[in-house]
Structure 1
Amino acid sequence: MEALTPALDATTMDEDVATHHTEERRQRLVEFAAAPNRYAKSAFRWVEDDPGAIDAYGRALNRLDRYQDVLGFKRLCRAGGSYRSALYGLAALAHHHRRWIRQPETWSSTIQQGGHPQSVDQFGSLARHLLAQFDVPRFMDEVWFDEYGPEALQRQNAFIHIGSGGSARDLDLPVQLTRRMAHMFMQGKNRDSLAHNLRWSQVLGVGGDQQMARTILKTRLGRHLEHDEFWSTVVLFLASNPLIDPTQVGPMIDYVHNMRFAPRRVVREGGGVDEAPPPQPDFTMKGRSAKKLLRQVDAWHGHLTRVRDVVFQSWQTSGVRPYELEEELPELGPVRWTVQELLSSWELAAEGTALDHCVVSYSDQCADGQTAIWSIGLQREGEETRENVLTVAVDVGKRAITQARGRFNMLPGQAPRSAQAQKVARGRYMQMLNRSDHVLRLWMERERLRRDD
């Protein structure tokens, strides 16, 4: 592990300082650290009731503000939802001020010009200056933007552990790493999240190939790490069956999740809904064959697409705006694209029936406000009906696209794999599916959504 070179004592250096960083500004930041405005109350949770942490917060704010505007909201990492600005990250660093090995006043950088150096790189440099003697992978910077709580502290302690020269195998994280996994984890991709790099290392570490790893990262296992004592057996099963159609991996994982973990919602006589245990809380991968499991997934999928079998639930809109686009396509003529949110379990079931997938399994997540499901479709001039083309899942908290699937779980721009998908692709649907990706990108740009699939 490579040791870091301590920064020079910047207090003695004749360096440039950003024009906004005046004496008045410095005093304002000290006051802000002790009594933040309502937009930074959640950040203040990291330092409240600790005078030393409040002092450290003010000093860190002032130091980074010499080179970038810490009061201007900038998203410094891909994860973290609303907690991606320097205000939050510096507060989390200040919470650990007793473990600082260097002081913020001895850290230096350069003033941003033309976007360089990037704000995230400056923040990461300061974090390593304060807490790391050894190199820490850049993707771990996201731990400083978590919402206050035990899980955030656990992840931040992992950063400090690696920065102190500790082994990745000793990390207190949801996924337990072997020696091989730990080696791959430390070489993870900087632009990926901590969860993605953990899961990637796990898949390859148990013998899976990169194609299977990429496929798994696009499922809920690429975003959620809880219950890994069970999900590690699913990862091993998939890694041991590399010939499974990649388009079936997501539905298979959704099926397993619903069987073992998803509470059922049962309609009472006379109205109302009760919550019951999952269908198979003792579901195990032991002794299962891929062929039989896929048949079970197909049967479950068929059950879900029958609207009459779905318990009715409805929910409020997520706040993301719908979208319309009119254009003329060479083989379809004038069309009107619409991107609309689905606001009930019956609407999800109808979407699943139209596109032959199991989106209705997201009903409970939508009712709980975690996920929003959107339908992208088009209506041709002179026709009364709208054609469903692409279903999109949005993580509401992160404002991120987590799934985008067409008929039979087809992906825009990719050749169909299953026999059913290949048959559909012979018609005009494949042209509509590929074009829907353009509509999705325009909608994402307007709503400032990002891809996480």
Structure 2
Amino acid sequence: METSHIHKKHKSKSRRLKEKLEAKAKEVAIQKSLKAHNKAKKLLFPKMVETIYEGKKQLHFEFNTLAYTLDDLFRSLNKKRQSRRRTAFKEILDHLYKQRCTKLLRNHEYLHAIYNIVWFCSSYVRDIKTWKRNSHNPDKQLKDLARHCFAKYDVPAFMFEAWSDSNRKYMMWFIDLGCGLSVKNLSKVPVRLTKKGAHYFLQAPANYTIEMALRRAQALAFGTDEIVADRIACSALSRNNFANEGFWETVIQFFMRQSMLDFNKMGEIIDYLTFSIQQDREYTIKGRTITSLTRQSDEWHVAQAIHEVNTRELYTWEPSISSSLIAKTKEKTNVKRYRLFELCSSKELIAEGRKMNHCVASYARSCCVKVTSIFTLRCASFLKTEETLATIEVDLRSKTIVQAKARYNKPISAVAKKIMKDWATHHDLNIGKWL
């Protein structure tokens, strides 16, 4: 009996030792596999760039993947005619990888911005290989990269937007300003800028688009104050591609002369004047008063609201911001539920315009091409049916709330304003000074 017990004990000890050795061997194998995986992962991006750059065989990548975007960008650079840009693009990608700018290289929009920088590689003022990462933030990395490549002198913060734009004229402005050229000598500036206007252009806020900076400078040079200039900068005039510029110059001067200008009406009047100049190229505001323009604008907006369904094309579009917000408040026995969300079709805008008695339906095309987004703030309670408290316009390029209107274009309530501000903070949106 005792011998059998000793034998069993020895066998159990042997089994535990064997299991321990097997577990250790398994762990070593896992560590080896993990090391091999990490090594392959480290080599993956440079190898992918090298393969796409060489382009020796026809490659097919899944749509909207990183490889697909890189392949598309390299293909747009001809091997013979644009060999210098192709090589420069590969060099900058390799260098950014070595600098561990992984977030920058994984983002499709940033890759397009890097491509834009490379397009002007012949204008580099410093060797790309001397650039070093000094931030973990990819947005800051991109700005620092553009500064390193092109700027001997300070360039206004808002000008860095040029590299994320498709307008190469703005990129050339960035390069010229970085080399010390004055604003007055920039090519193809769409507005007339005096020496004073050129100074104001360089002083525009960092969150402005280039178009907004031009409008603000133009207005300030005419002698208006900053409040009016900022309202003009954030109006539709910064989103009209500077069409009919001679006419709009007279409009800005007209607004400047008004001592008692209702800012809530300015946007409506601009919408009305946009329609008027499109219908009649000879249209002028000469001899008109703010009273007559306001009356004509009001009449036009009413007519637009009545005929909107029959006269407008119908559009639908994808949401621009992850925007939904739900909040609750309780007053005694009445619970209120607030919803703030984006309107994503012409039909929704038409319904909103009818309910609120304003012309928000006219923004459908701008929403469709992602220039503007329209949001609605609604409140439901036990005592009342759902009520719309505000219609909110966001300029997507500057990420700024430029309008917030209650019914009949009246200012929004204090409660609606607080909810809007909380939502803006959560989504990193700016709010116009005048709201």
The residue number in structure 1 matching 2:262 is 245
SS at 1:37 equivalent = helix
The residue number in structure 2 matching 1:216 is 232
The residue number in structure 2 matching 1:318 is 318
Please tell me whether residue 88 in structure 1 is matched to residue 88 in structure 2: no
Partners of 1:73 and 1:342 lie apart in 2 by: 33
Q: Which runs of 5+ in 1 are unaligned?
A: 1-18, 76-81, 262-277, 413-429
The residue number in structure 1 matching 2:9 is none
TM-score by length of 1: 0.71
Partners of 2:83 and 2:423 lie apart in 1 by: 48
Partners of 1:331 and 1:302 lie apart in 2 by: 40
Paired amino acid for 2:382: E
**Does the 8 Å contact 1:379/1:387 carry over to 2?**
yes
The residue number in structure 2 matching 1:255 is 272
**Does the 8 Å contact 1:335/1:379 carry over to 2?**
yes
**Deviation digits for residues 243-273 of structure 1 (CA, Å, limit 9, x no counterpart):** 2111111111111112223xxxxxxxxxxxx
Partners of 2:152 and 2:376 lie apart in 1 by: 49
Most deviating of 25-34 and 194-203: 25-34
The residue number in structure 2 matching 1:143 is 162
The residue number in structure 1 matching 2:202 is 186
Q: Show the 5 A alignment for 1:34-433.
A: 37-40=67-70, 43-44=73-74, 47-49=77-79, 50-70=82-102, 72=104, 83=109, 85=110, 87-110=111-134, 112=135, 115=136, 118-147=137-166, 152-171=167-186, 172-227=188-243, 228-261=245-278, 278=279, 280-306=280-306, 311=311, 313-319=313-319, 323=324, 325=326, 327-330=328-331, 333-339=334-340, 342=343, 347-365=348-366, 371-383=372-384, 385-393=385-393, 403-412=403-412, 430-433=413-416
TM-score by length of 2: 0.74
**Deviation digits for residues 275-301 of structure 1 (CA, Å, limit 9, x no counterpart):** xxx3x3332233322221111111112
Partners of 1:401 and 1:43 lie apart in 2 by: 34
Most deviating of 22-31 and 241-250: 22-31
Partners of 2:215 and 2:387 lie apart in 1 by: 36
State the identity as a percent: 25
Higher RCO by CA contacts (8 Å cutoff, separation 6 or greater): 1
Once the 2 structures are TM-superposed, how far is the Cα of residue 67 of structure 1 from its aligned partner?
Answer: 3.6
**Does the 8 Å contact 1:212/1:242 carry over to 2?**
no
Once the 2 structures are TM-superposed, how far is the Cα of residue 345 of structure 1 from its aligned partner?
Answer: 5.2
Partners of 2:214 and 2:75 lie apart in 1 by: 28
Once the 2 structures are TM-superposed, how far is the Cα of residue 322 of structure 1 from its aligned partner?
Answer: 7.5
- The structure having more radius of gyration, on CA atoms, is 2
SS at 1:306 equivalent = helix
Paired amino acid for 1:260: I
**Deviation digits for residues 10-48 of structure 1 (CA, Å, limit 9, x no counterpart):** xxxxxxxxx999677555555555667213456447644
Structure 2 vs 1, CA of residues 200 and 399 (structure 1 numbering), >3 Å: closer, same or farther? closer
SS at 1:188 equivalent = coil
Task: State the Cα RMSD in Å.
Answer: 3.6
Partners of 1:134 and 1:246 lie apart in 2 by: 38
Once the 2 structures are TM-superposed, how far is the Cα of residue 388 of structure 1 from its aligned partner?
Answer: 1.3
**Deviation digits for residues 348-403 of structure 1 (CA, Å, limit 9, x no counterpart):** 344334333221322454577765533321121144x3211111335679987554
SS at 2:336 equivalent = strand
Paired amino acid for 1:98: S
**Deviation digits for residues 406-447 of structure 1 (CA, Å, limit 9, x no counterpart):** 2343444xxxxxxxxxxxxxxxxx2543354157448xx4xx
Paired residue total: 379
**Deviation digits for residues 298-324 of structure 1 (CA, Å, limit 9, x no counterpart):** 111222233688536433242467846
Larger proportion of helix: 2
